[in-house]
Amino acid sequence: MMGINNRARMKILFIIHDNGLGGIWAVTERLAKGFITRGIDATILILAPELTGKRVIHSGIPFIHYQMDVTHFKDMLKGKFLKTVPKIRKIIKEGSYDIVISSYFNVNFIALLAVKNTRTKIIVCDHGLYHSRHFPIKKHWLNRKIKDICYFLMSLSYRKADKIVAASEGIRKELTSFFKLPDEKVLCIYNPLPSNIQEAANIAPPHPWFEDGGKPIILAAARLEDYGKNLSLLLRAVAKVHQNFPCRLIILGDGEDRQKLEKLAKDLGVAEDVSMPGITENPYAYMAHADVLVLSSNFEGWGLALIEALACGCPVISTDCPCGPREILENGKYGKLVPVNDVNAMAQAITEVIVEGKVSCSREERIARGQDFIEYDAVKQYADLCDSTLQKQA
């Protein structure tokens, strides 16, 4: 591998669409800071209509904001994405970046086109099942024909990547089978975790519900986006539990479906026991003091919140969705798995944990499982991958 002197000369450009509200920003921020600590020049290019997340501005990481919306895949066929490619290529060339690391399905497509005919290498990261049979299609979003065309384009473009990183082994298998990619091109690198989780977990969470010693607290940490995260399922499950056992729900995060979820909580009659305080700089304090963390997703790329909660010693419940939760929890050894979109099963699992005290393993075992991923050192894995990618160029 390259030595530290070679790494100090390496220039990396991360390209993402997350403006500070979601998990991709958290992952990219940790990688970029880890790279900078190792003497690697790292910058983040954010493709978003606006910077709504304060985390970006105060991160201390060099960043470039390019105003555009890459959320809707269908716009790719209208040419909106293609018009941006020369501008992104200009940013790459002017910055003399050695490697681009892009994340998110649509961003990967743009980045792959932007580095074409340049000396810059590209590593694309896939954090979710945007391409697989598990990803349902909204009727008003993409019809089957458009979907097939888009996936054909993605299949061709992914083959042009120097390397493809999957956030879980499940996604790696999906990519190689769905896009018929060579096994040697696709590798799994788990998302990075901060090394100071336990230290941050010892801080008292800044929420009054943890001070009154009252009802059990159920926690979720997710973007307020119901299509994938299925937080409405969690609200309905909590409402069922609430009928027989007093409890409270805190959802950390923000997003476009906040008003919809707040209305649902009100309609279900649990609004007074549901809190959505937004994004917090220290979710680990909440995780360490909550009675259970619940992941209610229809699909996941990995399930980072599960690992973070385990590292804090918090019991966890997750839908058995693709991909990640079963892999993280080792088939239920470290937390309960329930069927996707099953309100009754979710309510039963919550009741078992917060009322009956039936958990899958001890607190010490949960922390040890979380520590497995902290010690994994994803930053080193990515840095070594960048080294080897540039070595092939040399």
Structural domains for the chain: 4-192+377-393 (3.40.50.2000), 197-373 (3.40.50.2000)
- Residue 104 — pLDDT band, cuts 50, 70, 90? confident
Mean pLDDT confidence for 384-393: 88
Mean pLDDT confidence for 154-181: 88
* Residue 131: C-alpha distances to residues 135, 159, 215, 368 (Å): 7, 15, 41, 33
pLDDT 10s digits, 135-148:
554 544 445 666 67
pLDDT 10s digits, 357-367:
999 999 999 99
- Residue 152 — pLDDT band, cuts 50, 70, 90? confident
- Residue 328 — pLDDT band, cuts 50, 70, 90? very high
What pTM was computed for the model?
Answer: 0.84
CB of 158 within 8 A of CB of 179?
yes
Q: How far is CA 260 from the centre of its chain?
A: 22
Instruction: Flag whether pLDDT at 74 surpasses 90.
Output: no
Q: Is 351 exposed, middle or buried (0-12, 13-18, 19+ CB in 10 A)?
A: middle
Mean pLDDT confidence for 374-383: 88
In this prediction, residue 134 carries a pLDDT of 47
In this prediction, residue 68 carries a pLDDT of 82
In this prediction, residue 140 carries a pLDDT of 41
Nearest to 17 by CA among 44, 48, 49: 48
Contacts of 4 (CB under 8 A, 6+ apart): 38, 39
Cis preceding linkage at 323, omega within 30: yes
Write the DSSP symbol of residue 323.
S
SS3 state of residue 52 = coil
- Of the ranges 50-54, 79-83, 298-302, 379-383, the best mean pLDDT one: 379-383
Mean pLDDT confidence for 220-247: 95
Give the pair of three-digit tokens for residue 225: 């986006």
Q: How many CA atoms lie within 13 A of 96 on its CB side?
A: 3
What is the pLDDT of the chain when averaged over all its residues?
88
Instruction: Flag whether pLDDT at 78 surpasses 90.
Output: no
Q: Which residue has the tokens 């229809």?
A: 298
CB of 102 within 8 A of CB of 81?
no
In this prediction, residue 178 carries a pLDDT of 80
Mean pLDDT confidence for 51-60: 68
- Residue 228 — pLDDT band, cuts 50, 70, 90? confident
Give the pair of three-digit tokens for residue 74: 């269908």
Residue type, 379: V
- Residue 155 — pLDDT band, cuts 50, 70, 90? confident
- How much of the chain is helix, strand and coil, in % rounded to 5? 45, 15, 40
Paired strand residues for 255: none
Residue type, 302: W
CB of 66 within 8 A of CB of 49?
no
- Residue 60 — pLDDT band, cuts 50, 70, 90? confident
CB of 293 within 8 A of CB of 306?
yes
